[in-house]
Amino acid sequence: MIVRLMGEGQLDVAAEDLSALNALDDELESAIESGDETTFREALHALLENVRKVGKPLPPDSLAPSELILPPADAHIDEVRSMLGDEGLIPD
């Protein structure tokens, strides 16, 4: 799956890594629902760090379409809330 980290570029994330990312996405969703800014920030950073860890960066000139777009690390809780779909940021 091609994932775009806003402001950072694209990464290729293997299908077998998606379940771990979904667990982090669930934590992020819970933090957003509770409105807890500290927990939200921690959950967002954990999700983005994990994507960076498991993803393989694509060349900057790659034209591959992104299947998933994740917010930047400094995104506001309301920005991320508006990006959430029925299945969070990362579809199951």
Number of domains in the chain: 1
pLDDT at 86: 74
Locate the DSSP E strands across 16-62. 56-57
Q: How much is the pTM?
A: 0.91
37-54 vs 18-34: helix crossing angle, rounded to 10:
170
Place 62 in a pLDDT band, splitting at 50, 70 and 90: confident
The token pair that represents 22 in the structure block: 């979904």
Asked whether residue 72 is assigned to any structural domain, the reply reads yes
pLDDT at 92 over 80: no
* 90 in any annotated domain: no
Return the pLDDT at 25: 94
Q: Is residue 63 part of a domain?
A: yes
Q: Is residue 91 part of a domain?
A: no
Domain containing residue 29: 2-84
Of residues 90 and 26, the one with the higher pLDDT is 26
CA 51 to CA 29: how far, in whole Å? 16
- pLDDT of amino acid 56: 97
- The verdict on residue 15 lying in a domain is yes
* Strand partners for 68: 3
Q: Is residue 92 part of a domain?
A: no
Could you tell me the sign of the dihedral formed by the alpha carbons of 76, 69, 57, 13, in that order?
Answer: positive
- The predicted-structure confidence for 2-54, as pLDDT tens digits, reads as follows 999 999 999 999 999 999 999 999 999 999 999 999 999 999 999 999 999 99
**Is 51 contained in some domain?**
yes
pLDDT of res. 12: 97
| Domain assignment of residue 40, yes or no | yes
Q: Is residue 39 classed exposed, middle or buried when 0-12, 13-18 and 19+ CB atoms within 10 A define those classes?
A: middle
